[in-house]
Chains A and B, each alone.
Chain A
Amino acid sequence: MSSEPQVKTAKQAGLGQCLKCHKLNVITHKDQRCSCCQAKISLRKYRSLEYTLAWTIAAIIAFFPANLYPIMIFTSLGSPEASTILSGIETFIKLGMYPVALVVFIASFIVPLGKMLGLLILIITVKTGSKVDPKHRTQLYHLVEFLGPWSMLDVFVVALMAAVVNLGFITSIEAGPGISYFALMVIFTMFAAESFDPRLLWDNLNNDD
């Protein structure tokens, strides 16, 4: 801790910050509650890494059916045609609709994958006591947190298209089973990000001095 300004942490002072109302409390026993808002508080989120890892693994498991099952079934003149996330993007590229192909590819493939990878990196660096600048890792955490809801994009697109395109025999769009797994995956990664405690990223720093 050479270039960093010397800052004492609340943990070193035996204080726990309430995550809800930001009040500092002297931590004396387990299952303590905040003196201001009565929320449960502790020095760090309870079993933060374990919960984050569990939700991340659940998301990774859901990622496979989400991509393998069709998310949309398009029927034109009686012949149904199922498309997965990746084959849908392929169609866009074939049709020359590059901007939408890019938006959908980023929102429904790169972002979920990146989120799960980011969470794994955060867990591993905390576990191994990595010396990588915690500032950058905190930024990574905020990125993961910020991206959370955006991966729901495809779910909403399919829901809306299924409702709008319903022109009797000629054309209709239906949701496919992949969409449920996809939504689950997004929800799991959001829970994972929520259970992670970013203060853990800074704790290694203090053990050195």
Chain B
Amino acid sequence: MSVEPVSYDHMIACPQCDGLSTKPLLMEGQKAVCKRCGGKVMERKRDPIRRTLAVALAGLLLLLPATVLPLIGVSAVGLFNQASLLDCIAILIANDYHLIAVSLTIFTLAVPVIRLLAALYISWCIRTKRITPALVHFFRSYHQLDSWTMLHVFLLGIMVSMYKLVALAELSIGLGLVAFILLLICSTLVSVTLDKHYIWEQLENGCEQ
């Protein structure tokens, strides 16, 4: 059985159930679902490059205040203490919980930062039409990061901690918490605005030329 060298560029497979269908022509803002399993097969987002650039840049500007400024503070019987994200990591290292310190650094600091930087870089390169084969490898690695950002979980962690601490001492909210929430919003928006199909199309076309 020999396979004929046919081009399958007009076809697309569902990432969930592997069902084949012809690639739909989508307008901006439309999405296509699989007729077998109902999952999303393709999506065309509105103004993906410019929106991603804006959101990623905003996120990067919020990064420093979100990590360095105190998130919450407690005061009890005349004593006061507050902690930022960096303090959390420092305390864990001081208490020899290296595994937790490393995971906290990776999931709430390193991965979100790398994602924002990568989204900014990719969008910039596509906007200025500087597409190289290296960029293809770069964007491939970007996909790996998606499930490892945990800013949203950390925010819920802050809220649970606050609820726990209310019984213990008087609470104060730091400026860092505001920056952190805004950073979380930017980081989430990046995955909303970034159109992977569009970028892959651009990268493929760019490399072939």
Flag if A14 contacts B35 (CB, 8 Å): no
* A104 CB to nearest chain B CB (Å): 7
Flag if B200 contacts A21 (CB, 8 Å): yes
Query: In chain A, residues 141-189, which have Cβ atoms closer than 8 Å to a Cβ of chain B?
Result: 145, 148-150, 152-157, 159-168, 170-171, 174-175, 179-180, 183-184, 187
Number of residues from A at the complex interface, CB < 8 A: 70
* B202 CB to nearest chain A CB (Å): 11
Closest chain A residue to B208 by CB distance?
A36
Flag if A156 contacts B18 (CB, 8 Å): no
Flag if B92 contacts A20 (CB, 8 Å): no
Q: Mark B163-174, 1 if CB is under 8 A from A, else 0.
A: 111011100000
Q: Mark B18-52, 1 if CB is under 8 A from A, else 0.
A: 11110000000000000111110010000000000
A19 contacts across to B, CB distance below 8 A:
15
Please tell me which one of the listed residues A7, A148, A160, A198 contacts residue B19 in the complex, with CB atoms under 8 A apart: A7
* A156 CB to nearest chain B CB (Å): 3
Flag if B99 contacts A167 (CB, 8 Å): no
A95 contacts across to B, CB distance below 8 A:
167
Cα A87 to Cα B147 in complex, Å, equals 30
| Further 15 A-B residue pairs, CB within 8 A, beyond A22-B12, A100-B163, A155-B104 | A7-B35, A9-B18, A15-B20, A36-B203, A100-B160, A149-B148, A152-B150, A159-B92, A160-B72, A166-B81, A168-B79, A175-B97, A184-B99, A199-B16, A202-B17
